[in-house]
Amino acid sequence: KLLNLKDVYFQTMRSSGAGGQHVNKVSSGVRATHAPTGVSVQVMDTRSQLQNKEIAMLRLAARLRDLGQATLNAAKAQKWKNQIEVSRGQAKRVFHGQKFIEK
């Protein structure tokens, strides 16, 4: 599932680490934030702002997918915890002592 670009806003920043003059004068780092959820990722992997933006989109999509999966897993776990009794469906026979009794 692709992200809707209207829901994502980008901020550029100076990268950290090695790179000398290029790192000091070019804002190649990118922070992408998903507005509806507030989830954000920060990328400073490459020297190119465009490549960092693409990487940020991929990482943001992966993080949102993981967040959605975690939400589903939590809902399943809560449903399992709320199950009070184990039912057998529609039992055809009931065991009483030495014989089965048809219902």
The tens digit of pLDDT for each residue in 17-70 reads 777 788 788 899 999 999 999 999 999 988 889 999 999 999 999 999 999 999
The pTM is what? Answer: 0.69
Name all domains of the chain by residue range, CATH numbers in brackets: 5-82 (3.30.160.20)
Q: How much is the average pLDDT of 83-93? A: 65
The CA distance from 12 to 30, in Å, is 5
pLDDT value, residue 63: 95
Enclosing H/E stretch for 71: helix 49-82
Strands 93-96 and 99-102: antiparallel
Q: Residue 103 above 70 pLDDT?
A: no
pLDDT recorded at residue 62: 95
The pLDDT value given to residue 66: 94
Tokens encoding 4: 């809707």
